[in-house]
Amino acid sequence: MTTSKAGGEGPNRAGGLGPVGEQRLSATDLTMLSVDGALRGMGAAGFEAVVLTWLSERVDVARLRAGLARLGTCHPVAASRLVEGGPGGPCWRFRPGAGCPLVETELSSPTPECVWEQAARLLSTPTDLTAASPLRFQLFHRPDGRDVFLMQYNHAVMDNTASDLVLREIDRLSADGPAEARPAAGPDPIRDYLRGFPREVRRKATTTTARLWGRSVRGGVAGVGHIRPSGPQSAEVCIATRRLEESDSRALRAHVTKTCGLPSLSMAILGSAFRAIERIEPAHRAGAPNFTTGIGLDLGLRGRQGPLFGNLVSLVPIRVPSEGLSDRAGLVRALNRQMREHIEDKADLGMLQWITLLSRRPRDDVRWVMGAFLRNRLSLWYAYFGTLGAIGDRFCGAGVEEVSCAGPSWPAMGLTLLVNQFRSRLLFQATYAPEAVSGPQARAFLDLLLADLVG
């Protein structure tokens, strides 16, 4: 049993009235909004994610509410509403005086499983962005005297690499003192980025990217569970979690450094994820010879003091044939080499060019294209966020124990894996759609993945 109460959205006493205006969506933001719309059209809840800050004690609620109120003032997009029918296309319409509300929930159990059930419930609930803010906040009071602060956000407003920076901003704004905002993104930072490359380079990169994505899915893609790519689907998702403690995480980093010459863990985790899928659903039995996913690539446009909101990443395909999975060390080297080659071929630039071209098409056309892409199954939706440590050791007066994240899933995908580091520990969250992937399958996937990483 849980009980909840919500804070108000009245005048922003912490920082005065916010500016009147709106923020247009960039080309990449528009594409993320199209993904959100396509998922809703398939029956899923949308393109949302959550970040959980696990605290060692009760948070200072008054201070937290003040920080959220100031967030809505200094960054009015956080408390905005989506307007799709304007003459200039979709935009985030600001709401002067509206802070970011906080919903407090008393949990009946102190267990992490109870917290993750609440997070899964939120990821399973469709949210209309014309009536709700793109960022929403919950505070879970556990009966053992500890709190968990949850931030939920729609991918159309920002990419995942900004999540812990937003948490740090909330903590900064919760303290006494001036509440200046970080700089906002320009009208379209991705278009500005693309214009830095000659047209012929962009054209070649676009062709290369289309070829790589086509190769990635040709012949079939292996994955976990029973996939039903069309027809009515449930919005419900569940979350399974695992962690790799500091000693094993440290040993893994040493192994990857020795194997590849650099301590980059993303491809090592992906390789073991593919190997875990193969053990659960052998590719030869499924008749799907490829293991493939898309990897987000940070463009370095944000920095430590750049804009918080907006999507400043690209996406490149990674593919492994089933016969390439047998040698774990060789697989990790091959994945790292493939990623370097794709970057050298400017596949990330080509993807941005495709996104920009799509953003000029009618909205219904783009949603149809995104729906077709989302139904053309990958092996899993995967992201590695590195260290979520920007928040620091304390948040709004409470000690920080851990920061972890989870993303959406939908039946045509079946399984989403988000991984992050926190204080040298690796944290694994698998979101799965129960009508496609069962709980035992999702937990077996994580167990096999971790066993492969430490083996």
Task: Grade residue 183 by pLDDT with cuts at 50, 70 and 90.
Answer: low
Maximum mean pLDDT: which of 62-66, 192-196, 357-361: 62-66
Tell me the Ramachandran region of residue 16: left when phi exceeds 0, alpha when psi lies from -120 to 50, beta otherwise: left
State yes or no: pLDDT of 428 exceeds 90. yes
pLDDT, one tens digit per residue, over 338-392 is: 999 999 999 999 999 998 888 888 888 888 888 888 887 789 999 999 888 888 8
pLDDT at 226 (0 to 100)? 72
pLDDT at 84 (0 to 100)? 87
Rounded to whole angstroms, how far apart are CA atoms 18 and 24? 17
Task: Grade residue 8 by pLDDT with cuts at 50, 70 and 90.
Answer: very low
pLDDT at 208 (0 to 100)? 93
Asked if residue 320 lies in contact with residue 334, where contact means CB atoms within 8 angstroms, the answer is: yes
Q: What is the mean pLDDT of the chain?
A: 88
pLDDT at 217 (0 to 100)? 82
State yes or no: pLDDT of 441 exceeds 90. yes
State yes or no: pLDDT of 16 exceeds 80. no
Angle at 172 between CA 171 and CA 173, to 5 degrees: 90
Averaged pLDDT for residues 188-212: 92
Three-state DSSP state, 417: strand
Question: Which residues are CB-contacts of 393 (< 8 A; sequence separation ≥ 6)?
Answer: 399, 400
pLDDT at 75 (0 to 100)? 92
Q: Report phi then psi at 4, rounded to 5.
A: -130, 155
pLDDT at 439 (0 to 100)? 95
Percent of the chain with pLDDT over 90: 61
Token pair 């040493």 in the structure block, residue = 254
Rounded to whole angstroms, how far apart are CA atoms 54 and 59? 10
pLDDT, one tens digit per residue, over 150-159 is: 999 999 999 9
Token pair 């020795």 in the structure block, residue = 258
Token pair 């053992």 in the structure block, residue = 144
pLDDT at 232 (0 to 100)? 63
More confident residue, 455 or 54: 54
Asked if residue 122 lies in contact with residue 96, where contact means CB atoms within 8 angstroms, the answer is: no
Structure-block tokens of residue 70? 């100031």
Task: Grade residue 11 by pLDDT with cuts at 50, 70 and 90.
Answer: very low
Rounded to whole angstroms, how far apart are CA atoms 29 and 219? 31
Asked if residue 77 lies in contact with residue 191, where contact means CB atoms within 8 angstroms, the answer is: no
State yes or no: pLDDT of 131 exceeds 70. yes
State yes or no: pLDDT of 46 exceeds 90. yes
pLDDT at 302 (0 to 100)? 83
Structure-block tokens of residue 68? 């959220």
Rounded to whole angstroms, how far apart are CA atoms 433 and 234? 8
Rounded to whole angstroms, how far apart are CA atoms 219 and 375? 15
pLDDT at 284 (0 to 100)? 62
State yes or no: pLDDT of 271 exceeds 50. yes
Averaged pLDDT for residues 294-314: 86
Rounded to whole angstroms, how far apart are CA atoms 46 and 431? 13
More confident residue, 204 or 10: 204
Rounded to whole angstroms, how far apart are CA atoms 179 and 163? 19
The residue type of 390 is: A
Maximum mean pLDDT: which of 80-94, 145-159, 219-233: 145-159
More confident residue, 55 or 99: 55
pTM for the structure as a whole: 0.91
Helix ranges, 124-245 (H): 163-174, 189-194, 199-217
